[in-house]
């Protein structure tokens, strides 16, 4: 162990020398920002809600504070399993054979956290943008469905590429294609080496390039010239670097730059060109295929849960807000076909949002891949972009498109459930997991996890989620994380839910989920609630044993919580002393006895006035006794509910 520690220290010193020399980028830079301090404090406390909020704000999960601790190290050291999992899912680094990685593993409070750190896949924590890079690279070699819209012709071969990727990644192509968006081919001058062009295109498509250092000087020179002409940066340094860590660092930086370029393109060209039209006109929109966004499909977001009262208000608006049927509609300079007079004069029912998009990015979803690879109408090429109606709101579609184009998926609890269901229907697994993570971390109203899980703490905050919907969503989408969260959430607030008809129906549905159910089969939701209910009171029971609780019960009057009789206080007076002594005369004893009886009566009255009561109204001796009784009461209510439903669990 000491040899390994010595090797790590040597490696750490060498790493710091490389960082100080400017050759290496520090993985865990010092961060003194207030947001990072709040994140570190939340990691110490185990506050999932605050952690998720700070991560969504963009706080660096791999920074370190002035005491040389990272958020992952703090949460691991303090034993907060859920916080550790959240940080790892959000890109926190725990790479073995590095000083910081070994430090996290060594400091882990328990084996459960240590096993999580060991089992977490390196590629997920090290390179969260790899799925995006892998998909962009695959477009170079994908034939079905056909998504390319420009061909680069050389003397030896043709490269089928995508205008929007070229325009987003290269200022040179952006200028050329903006001037002539209808361009479908581009011939490369013969003076440009074909191999140089291939490497440059691979760099634009985020491919991991390997170039033999013995390549002809002409190829390397041609690549250098192309990089400057296309304004794509200096990729030779990344390609020719022999140090593995430096090469990986260069590639990570290049992928981040590519993601930022795509994010800028997405915000400007996709979100910046969304249009709203009346639902009756959506199918009549004719968006020319040769457009400056290079979009090849229109996605129509139609919220099925739109407020009918709001729609009625839209219907009653002045008809002057609707485009004249004699004037062709135009959005952001892109002409749309003239709509029919019937559609124009019809009463306005609902607004839908049209999103221009690219099939090349949509096929990241298996749903769209199957659609565009089939004989469906949406897969056929035409002069105008096909309009695809989707059963989701514009807010949900914006989140999903943002993930597909940029790998970014920051959204709030208000759309988390719809994003979960839509991601499940469209087979976008990573986004579905992200939605479940947001629900399970932010689903506590404005109260933090620490506050909401106080065993006796009832918050006045109105929760902004329907926990019954969350549990059913976990069932429907097969996300066990949500089932666990729902059971835990209910268990910590069971007194609020136990008597509700909706809770009774939830238990009935859980029992019915077992096919060919037998009388002795358990009810999953009930088993989970019992587990978390015992966990809720466990710490309180550990603080004071049941023997002590039983002893305290001895000092109450048969369960009514009143203070015991005067005999309790006899220890303060030696009644066996010599009564002839002036201090212990009979008169003196009688006076003290009367005084103590009066004090006892006063305390009994005060106990009744300021008593601690259980859920069924009984008076408990103290908070510990209250917890013990409440635990038994809640278990009893669960048993009563199961009896009513005729379930043996």
How many CA atoms, within 13 angstroms, populate the side-chain half-sphere of residue 161?
A: 28
Residue with more model confidence, 208 or 94:
208
How many CA atoms, within 13 angstroms, populate the side-chain half-sphere of residue 394?
A: 15
pLDDT of residue 627: 78
Same domain, 139 and 262: yes
Angle between helices 501-512 and 524-543 (to 10 degrees): 120
Reference 358, options 133, 169, 136; nearest CA is 136
pLDDT of residue 254: 85
Same domain, 141 and 205: yes
Same domain, 320 and 373: yes
Q: How confident is the model at residue 130 (pLDDT cuts 50, 70, 90)?
A: confident
How many CA atoms, within 13 angstroms, populate the side-chain half-sphere of residue 326?
A: 0
Same domain, 293 and 255: no
Tell me how far apart the alpha carbons of residues 470 and 444 are, in angstroms, rounded to a whole number: 12
Mean pLDDT for the stretch of residues 506-531: 79
Say if CB 339 and CB 111 are below 8 A apart. no
Most confident of 116-125, 131-140, 513-522: 131-140
Per-residue pLDDT of 390-405, as tens digits, reads 999 999 999 999 999 9
% of residues, the chain, pLDDT over 90: 21
Q: Is the pLDDT of residue 265 over 90?
A: yes
Most confident of 184-188, 350-354, 357-361: 357-361
Q: Residue 9 burial (CB < 10 Å; 0-12/13-18/19+)?
A: exposed
State the DSSP string of 310-360: HHHHHHTS-GGGSPPTTS--EETTEE-PPPPHHHHHSPP--EEEEEEE-HH
Mean pLDDT for the stretch of residues 436-443: 82
Per-residue pLDDT of 636-646, as tens digits, reads 888 888 888 88
- Domain assignment present for residue 81? The answer is yes
DSSP letter (8 states) at residue 129: T
Per-residue pLDDT of 49-60, as tens digits, reads 888 888 888 888
Domain boundary among 126, 141, 164: 126
Domain count, the chain: 3
- Domain assignment present for residue 395? The answer is yes
Mean pLDDT for the stretch of residues 141-151: 89
Mean pLDDT for the stretch of residues 514-520: 60
- Domain assignment present for residue 195? The answer is yes
**485 cis-preceded (ω within 30 degrees of 0):** no
Q: How confident is the model at residue 541 (pLDDT cuts 50, 70, 90)?
A: low
Mean pLDDT for the stretch of residues 493-515: 87
Residue with more model confidence, 266 or 219:
266
Domain boundary among 126, 156, 173: 126
Q: What is the mean pLDDT of the chain?
A: 75
pLDDT of residue 348: 42
Same domain, 66 and 170: no
pLDDT of residue 364: 93
Same domain, 260 and 141: yes
Same domain, 244 and 259: yes
Q: How confident is the model at residue 476 (pLDDT cuts 50, 70, 90)?
A: very high
- The model's pTM is 0.72
Reference 449, options 458, 441, 457; nearest CA is 441
Per-residue pLDDT of 171-198, as tens digits, reads 999 999 999 888 888 888 777 788 888 8
Per-residue pLDDT of 446-474, as tens digits, reads 343 444 444 444 443 345 678 999 999 99
pLDDT of residue 131: 85
Residue with more model confidence, 183 or 317:
183
3-class secondary-structure state, position 109: coil
Q: 10-14, 87-91, 319-323, 506-510 — which is least confidently predicted?
A: 319-323
Residue with more model confidence, 255 or 589:
255
Query: N- to C-terminal Cα distance for the chain?
Result: 50
Tell me how far apart the alpha carbons of residues 376 and 385 are, in angstroms, rounded to a whole number: 14
Range of the domain at 75: 2-126
Say if CB 205 and CB 139 are below 8 A apart. yes
Q: How confident is the model at residue 268 (pLDDT cuts 50, 70, 90)?
A: very high
pLDDT of residue 109: 81
Task: Report the CATH number that the domain containing residue 109 is assigned in CATH.
Answer: 1.25.40.20
Tell me how far apart the alpha carbons of residues 127 and 217 are, in angstroms, rounded to a whole number: 33
Task: Report the CATH number that the domain containing residue 145 is assigned in CATH.
Answer: 3.30.710.10
Other Cβ atoms closer than 10 A to 161? 21
- Domain assignment present for residue 593? The answer is no
Mean pLDDT for the stretch of residues 260-265: 93
Say if CB 204 and CB 184 are below 8 A apart. no
Q: Which residues, including other chains, have CB under 8 Å from residue 14's CB and lie 6 or more apart?
A: none
Pairing, β 275-278 against β 351-357: antiparallel
Tell me the two tokens of residue 55: 């991560």
For residue 389, the cross-strand partners are 300
- Phi and psi for 444 in degrees, rounded to 5? -135, 35
- Domain assignment present for residue 149? The answer is yes
Residue with more model confidence, 545 or 80:
80
How many CA atoms, within 13 angstroms, populate the side-chain half-sphere of residue 288?
A: 14
Q: Which residues, including other chains, have CB under 8 Å from residue 617's CB and lie 6 or more apart?
A: none
Q: Is the pLDDT of residue 548 over 70?
A: no
- Domain assignment present for residue 223? The answer is yes
Domain boundary among 246, 267, 288: 267
Mean pLDDT for the stretch of residues 145-154: 90
Residue with more model confidence, 14 or 112:
112
Query: Distances from the Cα of 159 to the Cαs of 134, 211, 249, 293, 620, in angstroms?
Result: 18, 19, 29, 21, 80
Other Cβ atoms closer than 10 A to 259? 20
Torsion, Cα of 320, 326, 329, 333 (10° steps): -110
Same domain, 165 and 71: no
Same domain, 92 and 22: yes
Q: 150-164, 194-208, 521-535, 611-625 — which is least confidently predicted?
A: 611-625
Same domain, 10 and 107: yes
Q: 185-199, 328-342, 547-561 — which is least confidently predicted?
A: 328-342
pLDDT of residue 283: 84
Same domain, 32 and 86: yes
- Domain assignment present for residue 497? The answer is no
Q: Is the pLDDT of residue 210 over 80?
A: no
Same domain, 234 and 303: no
- Domain assignment present for residue 620? The answer is no
């Amino acid at each position: 162990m000491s040899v390994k520690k010595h090797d790590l220290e040597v490696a750490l010193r060498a790493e710091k020398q490389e960082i100080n020399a400017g050759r290496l980028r520090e993985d865990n830079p010092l961060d003194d920002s207030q947001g990072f301090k709040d994140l570190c404090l939340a990691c110490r406390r185990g506050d999932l809600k605050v952690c998720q909020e700070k991560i969504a704000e963009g706080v660096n999960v791999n920074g370190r504070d002035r005491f040389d601790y990272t958020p992952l190290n703090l949460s691991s050291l303090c034993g907060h399993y859920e916080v550790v999992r959240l940080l790892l899912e959000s890109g926190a680094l725990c790479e073995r054979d590095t000083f910081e990685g070994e430090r996290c593993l060594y400091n882990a409070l328990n084996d459960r956290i240590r096993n999580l750190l060991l089992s977490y896949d390196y590629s997920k924590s090290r390179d969260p943008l790899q799925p995006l890079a892998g998909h962009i690279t695959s477009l170079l070699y994908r034939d079905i469905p056909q998504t390319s819209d420009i061909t680069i012709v050389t003397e030896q071969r043709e490269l089928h590429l995508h205008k929007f990727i070229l325009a987003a990644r290269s200022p040179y192509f952006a200028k050329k294609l903006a001037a002539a968006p209808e361009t479908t081919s581009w011939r490369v001058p013969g003076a440009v080496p074909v191999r140089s062009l291939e490497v440059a295109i691979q760099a634009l498509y985020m491919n991991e390039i390997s170039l033999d250092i013995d390549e002809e000087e002409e190829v390397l020179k041609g690549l250098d010239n192309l990089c400057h002409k296309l304004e794509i940066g200096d990729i030779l340094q990344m390609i020719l670097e022999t140090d593995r860590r430096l090469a990986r660092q260069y590639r990570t930086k290049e992928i981040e730059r590519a993601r930022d370029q795509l994010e800028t393109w997405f915000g400007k060209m996709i979100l910046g060109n969304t249009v709203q039209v009346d639902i009756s006109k959506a199918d009549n929109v004719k968006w020319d295929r040769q457009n400056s966004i290079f979009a090849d499909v229109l996605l129509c977001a139609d919220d099925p849960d739109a407020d009918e009262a709001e729609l009625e208000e839209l219907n009653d608006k002045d008809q002057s807000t609707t485009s004249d049927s004699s004037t062709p509609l135009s959005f952001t300079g892109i002409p749309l076909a003239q709509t029919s007079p019937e559609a124009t004069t019809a009463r306005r029912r609902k607004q839908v949002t049209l999103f221009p998009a690219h099939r090349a990015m949509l096929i990241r979803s298996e749903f769209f891949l199957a659609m565009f690879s089939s004989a469906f109408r949406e897969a056929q090429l035409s002069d105008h972009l096909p309009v695809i109606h989707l059963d989701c709101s514009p807010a949900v579609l914006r989140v999903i498109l943002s993930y597909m184009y940029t790998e970014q998926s920051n959204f709030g609890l208000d759309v988390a459930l719809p994003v979960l269901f839509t991601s499940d229907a469209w087979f976008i697994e990573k986004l579905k997991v992200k939605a479940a993570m947001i629900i399970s971390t932010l689903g506590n109203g404005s109260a933090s996890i620490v506050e909401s899980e106080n065993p006796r703490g009832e918050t006045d905050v109105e929760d902004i989620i329907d926990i019954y919907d969350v549990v059913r969503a976990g069932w429907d989408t097969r996300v066990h994380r949500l089932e666990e969260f729902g059971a835990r959430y209910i268990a910590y607030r069971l007194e609020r839910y136990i008597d509700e008809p909706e809770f009774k129906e939830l238990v009935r549905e859980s029992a019915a989920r077992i096919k060919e159910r037998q009388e002795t089969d358990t009810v999953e939701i009930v088993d989970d609630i019992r587990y978390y209910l015992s966990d809720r009171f466990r710490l309180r029971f550990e603080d004071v044993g049941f023997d002590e609780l039983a002893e305290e019960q001895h000092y109450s009057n048969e369960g009514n919580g009143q203070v015991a009789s005067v005999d309790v206080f006899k220890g303060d007076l030696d009644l066996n002393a010599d009564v002839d002594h002036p201090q212990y005369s009979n008169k003196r004893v009688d006076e003290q006895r009367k005084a103590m009886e009066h004090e006892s009566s006063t305390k009994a009255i005060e106990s009744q006035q300021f008593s601690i009561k259980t859920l069924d109204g009984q008076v408990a001796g103290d908070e510990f006794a209250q917890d013990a009784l409440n635990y038994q009461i809640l278990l009893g209510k669960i048993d009563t509910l199961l009896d009513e439903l005729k379930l043996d669990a």
